[in-house]
Structure 1
Amino acid sequence: MTVNKQWVTGSSEELLPSLVEEFKISPLVQKVLAARGLTERSEIAALLTDQKTHDPFLMYDMAKAVDRIHEAVSNDEPILVYGDYDADGVTSVTVLMYALEQLGAMADFYIPNRFTEGYGPNETAFKEAADDGVGLIITVDNGIKGRHEVTVAKSLGVDVIITDHHEIGDALPDAYAVIHPAHPDGHYPCPHLAGVGVAYKLAAALLGQDIPEMLGLTAVGTVSDLVPLTDENRTLVKLGLRELNQRPPVGIKALLQQAGHKGLVTEETIGFMIGPRLNAVGRLDDARPAADLLMEQDMTSAVFLAEQVEQLNVERKSIVETIVEQAAAAAEDKVARGFNFLVIAGEDWNEGVLGIVASKLMDRYYLPVIVLNINREAGYAKGSARSIPQLSMYDYLDQEIELLTKFGGHHMAAGLTLPLDNVSELESRLNDRLDRYLAEHELQPAIIIDADVTLDELTVDHIYELDRLRPFGTANPQPIFSITGSTITQIKAIGQQANHLKMTLNGRLNVLKWSAGELVRKFPEGTTVDVCGRLQLNEWNNHVSPQLMMEDMKSDQILMVDFRNQHPRTFAFLKDEPVIYVINRNRRKNSDHYYFYGDNIAGHDKIVLRDLPDNLDLFQQTMRSSTASQMYIIFHEAKQVYFEGMPSLQQFRELYKLMVNRPVVLSQHGMTLTARLNVTPNVLLFMLAVLTELGVVSVTGETYQLDLTAGKVDIPSAVCYQQREQQLKMEQQLLFASFDSIKQLILDNMN
């Protein structure tokens, strides 16, 4: 399913020349800053030069928490760091454990199992910690919703310090201290820290200084958790990336080695390599090996742990691929039946990867999606939900709270559990609510374009300057530029399965798009297009050149694709496209998707000119009614006459003379006649058919007998002669003409 995207261009403000000069801002960076409304000096300085870090003691309850931890260290009181199973969680555990070990604390960590314990504080785990003599529990990347568990711990004489960054509920837990960047009684300057960011600030407060060796892991957790890369988050990631490149932790070094990564570590390396691998451990099993890897100091041991993590990541990909295939089939059926809120459920689906599956389906259909695993034995369904920007998944589920056993999340994502018997009712209610919304609104994905640029502006130096805006991520995405009115001078599908797209615009700019090889069939060379995407530099054989990683492509032209005289396999994909077929009138219509030449085809966007038309008038009549934006031109004709041509009247007279003395028996005389007349067997049969139609020849079986009593006849007056003449004309004008002339003929009639 292809979803059309709306291109939305940013602001058209301009930067003051004095600011451009002060900060030495290149043209492309100027356009990005202006498009994003960053035109004040303070805003530009914050993005391009400033590195903001804040005093950790500005965070509410920080001093109280630090004093309590130091007290526990002094008294050799066992401390338990209670974490989470995702990348943010395991990096948070590692950072805080490092600080506690530096202080000489008696500390250990605990990460709950996703499948048996779920997210957040666990009463049983807290009770077991108390039984083991733990006097202080410190949560990282969780705990803000653990009111009951904190109360239980307190009743057992265990103090709990909460460090978290998730949404705060109606009331805070009755913990010894609650460290949260958005604490209702606090005024911390950066309220959007990741869990690891909060853990890092606590660790720095405990040690009384910044901890450069932990900044790399802080960057990993921050990027992986998709928090806004602004203010202090931006600084932590910039400093962390520097550490990852200069002094990477042993565990990260081993992980990247297993992943086959070489070169610079960027925020993209974290987002697409490091983060997914750390997450894979907790998605499939106990997450402790991920934390063990990050804490490991011996390279040999780290490599062993990294191999395990890599194996789990490979397994995770395989599981996701299998579930996506099954879920997509169900989603396709639901979309065909008119569902707009997709609730997809299956048995024996790994709950740890359902968020990934939901994201992939949401991207494919641009609809809100819930993917659930069915546990029939327990009688419940559990899974993940993903939404689109226009719709709040949290609000939609919150309005159906009575159907749910448990749920939590935010605008774009959520997790939920509900009785199996309620799944159908939930789907029905969600679709009813969304259908009411769609009665007045349209769902269409938007691409935010920072600026339109010309090919002349895309120099190596200008593109290199865009790195000043890094690190890219949430709230500071990599810029998207549009290039309009360029001509495709080369286009081809690349890759082993020819599933990727590579093209050249105006012979100057290379453009790539992964998993878009099918566009080759829709945008032929010579098409004028608008493209948008992310700029990068391509280095090959010591040559550096601009390159665009395409996001989308469109054209105001009517796209015409030439499939004339090609093998049917080249256009077999059309059977799965929403097209109509225009056919010759001597064909039989197979369905409502078939139209004859001469019919009105207005309202259909994609048409296939399957057959050669009966005549040019009918063809032009059909084109005049067309409103299509895409045409696939086949012009199939089983018996082509173009290369055989039309026999001359002299050849007809010669055939008549040859038949005067004896009848023609094809099996005996056919080859002799074709040689004498210098025609093909098909042309000989055509000539005999003309003479037969005009009454000059009679036929019995394969014997043709000349009627010597027949008078003079007009050869061109025969219907079959005129039909061949018409077919020859159609083949000359359409089947074997230049494609440019055919396109012009179509456009002239459509206009």
Structure 2
Amino acid sequence: MLKSKKRWRINALEQEDEQLASFAKALKVSPLVAAILVDRGINTEEHAKAFLTPEKQSYHDPFLFNDMAKAVTRIQHAIDANEAIRIYGDYDADGVTSTAIVYKALTLLGASVDFYIPNRFIEGYGPNKEAFRRTAEEGISLLITVDNGISGVEEMAYAQSLGMDVIITDHHEAGEQLPDTVALIHPGIKGEAYPFGELAGAGVALKLAHALLGEVPDDLVALAAIGTIADLVPLANENRIIVAKGLSKLQQTTSPGLTALTDVCGFSISDIDEEKVGFAIGPRLNAVGRLGDATPAVSLLITDAKEDAQELALSIDQKNKERQQLVRKMTTEAIDMVESRDELPAALVLLKEDWNPGVVGIVASRMVDRFHRPCVVLGKDEATQMAKGSARSIEGFHLFDQLSKHRDILPHFGGHSMAAGMSLELHDVEELEHRLGQLVEAQLSAEERQPVLPVQMEAKLSDVTLDVLQQLQKLRPFGNGNPKPLFLFDQLHILQSKRIGSDKNHLKLTLGSEGSQLDAVGFQMGDCAEAISAIAKVSAVGELSINEWNGRQSPQLMLQDIAVKHWQLFDWRGLAMEAVKKRLQTLGGAKLFSFQNNTELVKQLESSAGQQSSTSNTWVLLDVPASLEELRDWLITHQPDALYIWFKQERELFDAVPSRERFKWVYQIVLTHQPVPLEKLIRAGKTKGLTAEATTVIVDVFEELGLFAASNDVLEVTKSQEKKDINESAKLQAYKTLLETGEWLSTAGMDELWLWGNDILENNQRVEEVSI
């Protein structure tokens, strides 16, 4: 048995096979792809065709926003009057792309415009009065916020009291009261008529640009795609259109900034996709604001100068490397804090005063991935002398709702179901962990606290063809709300297994079932090569992809998790002692068992096996049992999850039972030369081809039958003249059984051995179930 690392949650498709076949035929896709569409709520032909061709779909009319006409009128007036306009942005990837989009649109219209990004460490997120005071003093008459502003009721009133008009474009959660401004462009506020409420900040900025320009320039939709992917909004409806069209435009862009950025990322602009944006471009744009002033990120996106772009991109890449080092250091410190505790609490709240508040959210995410429990990571805000940081949650535990119950110790916090930011007094940190832990234990069962792997569906290897994989690509772009589908393949044979990679820490399998086979690769899963028996049937979950090698394409499964649902049998027969010791060290915590009570052998191996785990049910059988009945009883008693068979034998393989002639010869030697020391008899026997064990067995049989007497290992023939049949000897029969058992256990195929053992275990389980 090999337990999966996560709890697999398999989606249940409520659709008849005939309906699915009809739907697939209408769309000209495989039933597998049709099933995914239906599972994701796309169950009409019209909806499916639109979903599968997002690049051909039209944007919503930007003037559907309640206040868009007001915003455009005010901005156009400012341009005509040559008023100074300032864009007030945010320091994350969504914020800087939003800033760049509106800046470029206004520049195209000839506006007198600049931008301002607040400093995360000095000013914090969103509007602030001091920045607005300076803005007014600089003669700015129109302020446009992007990716922020909806929460700044007081700050916006202050800005307008200074003589500035304000236009807000934002997408964050709105409070009960909304700011009173010239125009409020927000897709999700109450009463808003816009048909899609989940745009990213960059998406809202793009709508403003669209309204101002009457079209959507390629470079602006490319920037909006970056912001949309980086902000993890659902890739549905207009977000899907923005990303699909934007990625296409990114692949063709001539923007010096984006070209330089992809260069430092290490890939060509033509190879860009949603994964490269999410894991390479987005993190670099985010890194600048996480460690300091995010202004260079905007400058990179709006520059037309190639040299400036290259210099800015290198600087941003360096910031990202610093961010990575900082995250690694803080994550290591956080893990050490947790692992130094006597037991793992239901929720983690971790504080270290010198932790950088710009990356605590990343560290919290890493901790959730490792320990699978809600986690709050805090540093110390030197300005306020309070603990300040971020939290991340697990499925089933709504972080914002639960934190809302403890406002008495959380004077400042905000967020949503899976993430939150907060400040609290240093002396309340321990209390917060205690309260959160109680809430987790009350709300989630032990099983629900196990990490979940959402599986799209179970599939067969015969379903996996290059044509189907190419059809799956039509579901892209993947992301939040439209994840890459994970497939479960159950009860597969392992045709080949090996470690790969320079450090041999990755796994490559060839899996087979019913005449079909599929290669599978698992990164950082190399240990599974030794944890899965060659005869096991595995269940594997992963993403399907197309592997290209030397011009040849083939399907491939990128493993996410793997399990063996039955007990496992591993073959160590014939290994030398040193090889067994090395394998025990790798295995760790296995329990050793000797049927022959060979305490010396057990002692030799115990140091290599390490400390035996009380919870482990992994066993190593060191030697051969006296009979198959003894092995049967052992299996029923111990019910192993994994069993490694060494079956070390002191005797030569296939030793025969001594013949009658051998018995006669030994009897005659002792009769003629008595008294005869056993040691001398053994030496004499070797000259006749008798092993020491065979000679000892013959002597034991004669003793049992009363024909020999021994004193201090010196043998004599007894005076008894009664004729005895050696086959009446229990010792001889036991020896025969031992040899037969040893021969079968040493030569039988692993499939044969496993089936024999499995029949015993299953029959015993059935008996227990009937008894219950």
TM-score with structure 1 length normalisation? 0.86
Helix, strand or coil: the match of 2:181? coil
1:393 and 1:412 in contact (8 A); partners too: yes
Letter in 2 for 1:111: I
1:557 correspondence with 2:561: no
Deviation at 1:679, TM superposition (A): 7.3
For residues 280 and 690 of structure 1, the distance between their equivalents in structure 2, rounded to whole angstroms, comes to 83
Deviation at 1:682, TM superposition (A): 9.2
1:745 correspondence with 2:749: no
Q: Give a deviation string over 1:592-641, Cα, whole Å, max 9, x none.
A: xx9xxxxxxxx97733235436544443223224555x31314475x733
Query: How does 1:320-359 map onto structure 2 within 5 Å?
Result: 320-332=327-339, 337-359=343-365
Q: Please point out which of 445, 450, 455 is paired with 2:456.
A: 450
Helix, strand or coil: the match of 2:46? helix
Q: Please point out which of 524, 540, 546 is paired with 1:515.
A: 524
1:28 correspondence with 2:40: no
Helix, strand or coil: the match of 1:253? helix
Helix, strand or coil: the match of 2:296? helix
For 2:440, the equivalent position in structure 1 comes to 434
Deviation at 1:187, TM superposition (A): 0.9
Q: Please point out which of 510, 524, 533 is paired with 1:524.
A: 533
For 2:368, the equivalent position in structure 1 comes to 362
1:539 and 1:545 in contact (8 A); partners too: yes
Change (3 A) 1:655 1:402: farther
Helix, strand or coil: the match of 1:351? coil
Residue ranges of structure 2 left out of the alignment (5+ in a row): 607-613, 763-772
For residues 479 and 434 of structure 1, the distance between their equivalents in structure 2, rounded to whole angstroms, comes to 29
For 1:600, the equivalent position in structure 2 comes to none
Q: Please point out which of 386, 400, 405 is paired with 2:406.
A: 400
For residues 111 and 721 of structure 1, the distance between their equivalents in structure 2, rounded to whole angstroms, comes to 92
Q: Please point out which of 60, 65, 84 is paired with 1:54.
A: 60
Helix, strand or coil: the match of 1:46? helix
Change (3 A) 1:674 1:419: farther
Letter in 2 for 1:358: A
**CA-atom RMSD, angstroms?**
3.8
For residues 724 and 381 of structure 1, the distance between their equivalents in structure 2, rounded to whole angstroms, comes to 75
For 1:570, the equivalent position in structure 2 comes to 583
1:8 and 1:446 in contact (8 A); partners too: no
More displaced 10-residue stretch of structure 1: 313-322 or 713-722: 713-722
For residues 689 and 290 of structure 1, the distance between their equivalents in structure 2, rounded to whole angstroms, comes to 89
Change (3 A) 1:551 1:29: same
1:623 correspondence with 2:632: no
1:79 and 1:105 in contact (8 A); partners too: yes
Deviation at 1:313, TM superposition (A): 2.3
Helix, strand or coil: the match of 1:246? coil
Letter in 2 for 1:366: H
1:670 and 1:681 in contact (8 A); partners too: no
Query: How does 1:567-716 map onto structure 2 within 5 Å?
Result: 567-575=580-588, 587=599, 606-612=617-623, 615-616=626-627, 617-628=629-640, 630-635=641-646, 637=648, 640-643=650-653, 645=655, 648=658, 650=662, 653=666, 676=687, 696=710, 698=712, 706=714
Query: How does 1:120-269 map onto structure 2 within 5 Å?
Result: 120-262=126-268, 264-269=271-276
Deviation at 1:140, TM superposition (A): 1.1
Letter in 1 for 2:178: L
For 2:610, the equivalent position in structure 1 comes to none
Deviation at 1:429, TM superposition (A): 0.8
More displaced 10-residue stretch of structure 1: 239-248 or 739-748: 739-748
Deviation at 1:412, TM superposition (A): 0.9
For 2:120, the equivalent position in structure 1 comes to 114
For 2:15, the equivalent position in structure 1 comes to 12
Change (3 A) 1:583 1:282: farther
Q: Give a deviation string over 1:48-68, Cα, whole Å, max 9, x none.
A: 245131111211222222222
1:463 and 1:546 in contact (8 A); partners too: yes
For 2:318, the equivalent position in structure 1 comes to 311
For residues 125 and 294 of structure 1, the distance between their equivalents in structure 2, rounded to whole angstroms, comes to 23
Change (3 A) 1:568 1:416: farther
Letter in 2 for 1:280: A
Deviation at 1:362, TM superposition (A): 1.8
Q: Give a deviation string over 1:266-318, Cα, whole Å, max 9, x none.
A: 11121122112222222233222222222222333322222222222233233
Q: Please point out which of 287, 290, 293 is paired with 2:294.
A: 287
Change (3 A) 1:121 1:692: farther
Q: Give a deviation string over 1:353-391, Cα, whole Å, max 9, x none.
A: 222222222223332222223569964322221112211
1:536 correspondence with 2:561: no
For 2:280, the equivalent position in structure 1 comes to 273
Helix, strand or coil: the match of 2:489? strand
Helix, strand or coil: the match of 1:352? coil
For residues 110 and 33 of structure 1, the distance between their equivalents in structure 2, rounded to whole angstroms, comes to 43
For residues 233 and 252 of structure 1, the distance between their equivalents in structure 2, rounded to whole angstroms, comes to 21
TM-score with structure 2 length normalisation? 0.84
Deviation at 1:646, TM superposition (A): 7.4
For residues 541 and 589 of structure 1, the distance between their equivalents in structure 2, rounded to whole angstroms, comes to 51
Number of equivalences: 727
Q: Give a deviation string over 1:155-207, Cα, whole Å, max 9, x none.
A: 32222221111111111123332210112232101111000001111122222
Identical aligned residues as a percent: 37
Helix, strand or coil: the match of 1:383? strand
Deviation at 1:750, TM superposition (A): 0.5
Change (3 A) 1:323 1:143: same
Deviation at 1:237, TM superposition (A): 0.9
Deviation at 1:731, TM superposition (A): 4.5
For residues 128 and 658 of structure 1, the distance between their equivalents in structure 2, rounded to whole angstroms, comes to 119
For 1:297, the equivalent position in structure 2 comes to 304
1:645 and 1:728 in contact (8 A); partners too: yes
For residues 557 and 189 of structure 1, the distance between their equivalents in structure 2, rounded to whole angstroms, comes to 52
More displaced 10-residue stretch of structure 1: 11-20 or 558-567: 11-20
Change (3 A) 1:116 1:685: farther
Residue ranges of structure 1 left out of the alignment (5+ in a row): 595-602, 700-705
For residues 724 and 543 of structure 1, the distance between their equivalents in structure 2, rounded to whole angstroms, comes to 59
Helix, strand or coil: the match of 1:5? strand
Deviation at 1:221, TM superposition (A): 0.7
1:10 and 1:36 in contact (8 A); partners too: no
Letter in 1 for 2:42: L
1:92 and 1:141 in contact (8 A); partners too: yes
